Amino acid sequence: MVENRFFFSIFHFPSSTVQTMSNPTLHVRIISPQQLILDTEANSVSSKNLQGPFDVLPLHANFITLIENTPIVIRTPNQKPLTFNFPLAIMLVTENKVNIYTYIQPI
């Protein structure tokens, strides 16, 4: 912990570039081969895979899953839920980033 305090005491970051641990968010993107469908900050992403329902929250462990014909609910910081439903999607979660790849062609 001392090292982190030392690091932040030497370098100044604008508040927009440093996430506080008290209010972290996820950076969510929905990407199709044709376009970027969504690019936003969110408090959570919820859906269901073959194992059952799941929620992705800030600081979530790395995670990848297939989602088929199931709603994906993204809750933005103002708590407005955005709901998307795709025939097939791959969700990849790494380092507070959620990338959802959709309109992919099954092999």
Looking at the domain assignment, is residue 41 inside a domain?
yes
Q: Which residue has the higher pLDDT, 50 or 18?
A: 50
Q: Which residue has the higher pLDDT, 6 or 107?
A: 107
Please provide the DSSP assignment of the chain as one string: -HHHHHHHHHS---TTTS--TTS--EEEEEE-SS-EEEEEEESEEEEEETTEEEEE-TTPPPEEEEEEEEEEEEE-TT--EEEEEEEEEEEEEETTEEEEEESPPP-
pTM as predicted: 0.77
Looking at the domain assignment, is residue 12 inside a domain?
no
- Indicate the range of 20-24, 28-32, 99-103 predicted with least confidence: 20-24
Confidence of residue 21 (pLDDT cuts 50, 70, 90): low
pLDDT of residue 4: 41
Looking at the domain assignment, is residue 60 inside a domain?
yes
Looking at the domain assignment, is residue 13 inside a domain?
no
- Whether the per-residue pLDDT at 50 is higher than 90: the answer is yes
Residue 56: both structure tokens together? 């992705």
CATH number, domain containing residue 55: 2.60.15.10
pLDDT of residue 45: 98
- Whether the per-residue pLDDT at 80 is higher than 90: the answer is no
Q: Determine the average pLDDT of the residues in 28-53.
A: 97
Instruction: Print the domain residue range for 54.
Output: 22-102
Looking at the domain assignment, is residue 63 inside a domain?
yes
For CA atoms 47, 51, 55, 57, give the dihedral sign.
negative
Please provide the DSSP assignment of 73-91 as one string: EEE-TT--EEEEEEEEEEE
pLDDT of residue 79: 77
Q: How many domains does the chain have?
A: 1
